[in-house]
Amino acid sequence: MEKVVDANVFIHGKGSYPFTKALVIPEVLEEIQSQNARNLLINTDYQVKTPSEKNVDKVKEKASEINSPTSEADEKLLALALETDKNILTDDKALQNLALHLETGFEGFLDKATDQKFVWEKYCGNCGRKVSGSKCGSCGSTHLSKKQVRCSSE
């Protein structure tokens, strides 16, 4: 089975994986710094791919809609899963959550995969009001904090 694989799987894996071929993005290779994890990757059948801009934009749009705390690399990896129609293998809960929102298949590696959908709401760190942009509409502060909120509609 081909799967899109997160860097953490190689970092925490011990050479035994639930896939026959790994699809990764260039950023995953950069994240894998330790010699041990690199050796594990090299012994795996893997292919490096870059997702199209269209799919990256689609993922980023959803990520910003829900204020997802996922990184740029996470979002690209998810875009590759979307593009290739393969499951993404990751234990990153925020990444799994974003996959849920995009209806992309995903699996946990060491932990059970999440089945709860969350969004994050932004609050002003100065006056405490809810914020929708990148700064507080009330006091202008850009010091924002995020609060995880469970989706009740699904």
Chain residues that interact with Zn ion, rule: CB under 5 A: 124, 126-127, 136, 138-139, 141
Question: What is the closest distance, in whole angstroms, from the C-beta atom of residue 84 to Zn ion in the complex?
Answer: 42
CB 10 within 8 A of CB 29: no
Torsion angle, alpha carbons of 123, 129, 130, 135, to 10: -70
Give me the sign of the Cα torsion angle 12, 14, 20, 22. Answer: positive
Within its chain, how far is the Cα of 81 from the centroid? 11
Q: Report the residue number, 42 or 127, with the smaller CB distance to Zn ion.
A: 127
How far apart, in whole angstroms, are the C-alpha atoms of residue 111 and residue 117?
Answer: 17
Q: Nearer to Zn ion by C-beta: 17 or 120?
A: 120
As measured in angstroms, the least distance from the Cβ of 14 to Zn ion is 48
State the minimum distance, in angstroms, from the CB of residue 152 to Zn ion. Answer: 26
User: Which amino acid does the sequence have at 70?
Assistant: T
Q: How far is the CB of 2 from Zn ion (least distance, A)?
A: 47
Q: Of 12 and 130, which has the nearer Cβ to Zn ion?
A: 130
CB 96 within 8 A of CB 102: no
Instruction: Name the residue nearer to Zn ion (CB basis): 50 or 145.
Output: 145
